[in-house]
Amino acid sequence: MMCCRMKPLDFDFRRGIQAFCLLLTVLCSSGAMAAETSGRLDIYFIDVEGGAATLIVTPAGESVLIDSGYPDFGGRDRDRILHTVRDVAGLKQIDHAVVSHWHLDHYGNHAALSTEIPIKNFWDRGIPDALQEDPKFVDRVALYRAASQNGSKTLAAGDKLPLKQAGRTPLEVEVLTASREVIPSRGEANPHAKDQTAKPEDTSDNAASITLLLKFGSFRFLCCGDLTWNIQSKLVTPRNSVGKVDLFMVTHHGLPTSNNPALVLAIDPVVAVMCNGPTKGGHPETIATLRKVKSLEHLYQLHRNVKLDAAGQTPAEFIANTGETEGCEGVMVKASVSQDGGSYTLQIGKEGRPRIYETRKH
Ligand SMILES: [Zn+2]
C-alpha cells in the first residue's frame, strides 16, 4: 500500500480500474459457471405436438438434444426447441444432437436448428440408403447430411455418449438398442416375461430406434424413441436389462404398438411423461398398461387426448396443454434431478407446481 501511494495518481487510478475490471470478470464468469453448474441435471420434454424433442442439460453444462420434432408449420417446433435451449436453459450451443430413428417427427429440425445455433456432434443409428415407408427420405436426409457436414456418428447398442463429468455424482448415458440390435441380456430375471406375447414383425424404422438409459447417481431415466413391441420384449427378456427406473418417457407418444407391458411393468417407473399430441398417441391401451405399474405415482401428458374423456387419461393437473394444436402455447414438462441424484422435481411450464419425488434405491 505504501509503495502504491508513491506512484502517480493516474497510474494508481488505471491499476484500480484494471483490478475492478478483473474482479468484475471473475464475478461474472463465476456467476455464469454457477448457472451452468448448479449441479442439477435437467430434462426438458418440449411440446412438439405429438413428435419428440427432449433436451438434457448435464451438471457440466453440456446439452443433449434427443430428436427435434416436425419440420414445417412455420418453424413451430424449431422455434420451441430454440426457445427452450436459449431462453430457458440459457445455452449457446447444442453439444450432442441425437436422432432416435428416421421418422420426420424425430429428425424434422436437426438441419434447421443447425443454421440457428451451433451443433457440435450429431449422433444417429446410421443413415440407411432408403426408407421403405418414406419415398422422400433420400432428399430429406440430404439436409441432415449437409447440416452435419457428413460427420454424424453412428451409435450402436452398448455405446455410451462421451459426456463430461462434473461434481461427485457419476453420469452415464448408455445406448441399449439401435438398428434392431439389443445389448446382451443382463440383470435380474423379468417376472413379466412369462406373460409375453409377440406382435407381427415391425419392418418400419420405429423398431430400429435408439434407446437411451441415463444414470445420474441412483437416478434412472429411460427413453426408447418409438421402439416397438418385439424389440422392447427382446430388451427385457429373459432378464430385465434396463432395471427399474425413476422416470420413463412413455414410448412412441403413447401408442400401443410400443409400450409392451413386459417392459413397462418390469421397469416399474415412478413417474412417466408422455409426449403425445391432441390427436396422436395417448392411447387407452397404453394408459391401461401404465395404470398397472406398481410404483407409478404420476403420469404427465404433454397434451390432453381430445378424443378421450377425462377419466380415460391422466388428471387435468398433470396435463401440460389442454387444447387443440391450433393456438397451442406448447407448454413443456421439466424434470430436474438434484445434485446427488437423490431426488427429482417435475414441473409443468414455468408456473406449474413443482412436485418432488425420491429417487428409488437400487
Ligand atoms: Zn414418433
pLDDT at residue number 78 = 98
Distance CA 85, CA 103 (A): 22
Q: Per-residue DSSP letters for 124-159? A: ES---S--TT-TTHHHHHHHHHHHTTT--EE--TT-
pLDDT of residue 18: 52
* Residue burial 185-223, b: 16+ Cβ < 10 Å; e: rest: eeeeebebeeebeeeeebebbbbbbbbbbbbbbbbbbbb
CA of 57 to the centre of ligand 1 (A): 22
Look up residue 328 and give its three cell numbers: 397451442
180 Cα–ligand 1 center, Å: 16
Q: How far is the CA of 252 from the centre of ligand 1 (A)?
A: 5
Query: What are the residue boundaries of the structural domains of the chain, listed by start?
Result: 40-358
pLDDT at position 22? 45
Distance 253 CA to ligand 1 centre (A): 6
Helices (H), the chain: 2-6, 9-36, 76-82, 104-107, 110-114, 137-147, 229-236, 261-267, 284-291
Question: Ligand 1 centre from 101 Cα, in Å?
Answer: 9
The pLDDT of residue 362 is 74
Residues with CB under 5 A from ligand 1 (ion): 105, 226
Residue ranges of the chain with pLDDT lower than 70?
1-37
What pLDDT was estimated at residue 196?
Answer: 83
This prediction has a pTM of 0.90
Distance of CA 67 from the midpoint of ligand 1 (Å): 9
How many angstroms separate the alpha carbon of residue 247 from the centre of ligand 1? 19
Ligand 1 centroid to 18 CA: how many Å?
55
- Amino acid (one-letter) located at 322: T
- Which residues in 196-270 belong to E strands, given as ranges? 211-216, 219-223, 247-250
Listed residue (333, 336, 340, 280) closest to 305, CA to CA: 280
CATH of region 40-358, choose from 3.40.50.300, 3.40.50.10790, 3.60.15.10, 3.30.1360.70: 3.60.15.10
* 341 phi, psi to nearest 5 deg: 75, 5
